[in-house]
Amino acid sequence: MPRIGIIVGSTRPGRFGVQPAQWLLDLANARSDADYELVDIEAAGLPLFDEPGSPLMVEPQNTHTIAWKERIGALDGFVFVTPEYNHSTSGALKNALDYLFHEWNDKPAAFVSYGGASGGSRAVEHLRGIMAELKVYDLRDQILLPSYYLNLDEGGRYRFSEAEEKAAAAMLDELVFWTVQMTTARAARKAELVAA
Ligand SMILES: Cc1cc2nc3c(=O)[nH]c(=O)nc-3n(C[C@H](O)[C@H](O)[C@H](O)COP(=O)(O)O)c2cc1C
């Protein structure tokens, strides 16, 4: 089974981000095409990048980095759940991305974004540039939740629509397809390298 991580991109106390991440995880867990898990960068406890060099070239030295490397390395695909902070993604998510290189490589990603009227679209546009450098293959699929705070119930819970559920199902279909393709491709390349 491919393993897909739903990555919560906000660490803010009272963050909204856990709501769409948990919603997507619940929808995903009703499927049987992959193993889905929440990856909370808050729980990973990463300080501002404190390794001696780029993860492209330098092995990690810190225990938090080694744990993060193992966590992400075990995954085959990602959904980034991102807020929009000043027309970009959160500093916390950028920092968590910066910590690793190889563990992100040659894996697909889809997106859930939220914020004001733009629904976090500018955060995802910035993320797509970062994805290219990390060799993450960003899918077109993306769920936007514009001005989500206008659609909360009395308990502060976002009211997800049927259209959003449909969009989530289509996004996961696409993500699983590419996760399987790319997992196979990574294994084939590894076998070629071993044989050479
Ligand atoms: C520092 C900061 C900058 C923000 N900048 C934007 C922005 O540029 N565009 C936008 O739509 N919302 C912006 N917002 C609103 C956030 O998208 C909104 O507060 C959201 O709930 C943040 O995600 P979180 O609750 O998961 O941390 C900003 C919020 C913060 C805290």
Q: Is 99 in the pocket of ligand 1 (CB under 6 A)?
A: no
Query: 8 has which bridge partners?
Result: 40, 81
Neighbour-count burial for 152-189, b at 16+ CB within 10 Å, e otherwise:
eeeeeebebeeebeebbeebbeebbebbbebbeeeeee
Please state the domain extents for the chain.
3-195
Mutate which of 38, 85, 122 for ligand 1? The one with the most ligand atoms within 8 Å of its CB, which is 85
Q: pLDDT band for position 73 (50/70/90)?
A: very high
Q: Is 158 in the pocket of ligand 1 (CB under 6 A)?
A: no
Euclidean distance between the first and the last CA atom of the chain, given in angstroms as a whole number: 28
Q: pLDDT, tens digit, for every residue of 104-140?
A: 999 999 999 999 999 999 999 999 999 999 999 999 9
Cβ contact 67:33 at 8 Å: no
Q: pLDDT band for position 89 (50/70/90)?
A: very high
Q: Which atom of ligand 1 is nearest to the CA of 15?
A: 25
Q: Average model confidence (pLDDT) for the chain?
A: 97
Q: Is 147 in the pocket of ligand 1 (CB under 6 A)?
A: no
φ, ψ (nearest 5 deg) of residue 111: -140, 145
Q: Which CATH architecture has domain 3-195?
A: 3-Layer(aba) Sandwich (3.40)
Give, using CA atoms, the residue closest to atom 22 of ligand 1.
83
- Give the Å distance between the CA of 193 and the centre of ligand 1: 44
Q: SS3 for 110?
A: strand
Q: Is 116 in the pocket of ligand 1 (CB under 6 A)?
A: yes
Q: Is 47 in the pocket of ligand 1 (CB under 6 A)?
A: no
Q: What is the pLDDT of residue 85?
A: 98
Q: What is the pLDDT of residue 28?
A: 98
38-65: average pLDDT: 97
Q: Is 119 in the pocket of ligand 1 (CB under 6 A)?
A: no
35-54: average pLDDT: 98
Q: How far apart are CA 71 and CA 65, in angstroms?
A: 10
Give, using CA atoms, the residue closest to atom 23 of ligand 1.
83
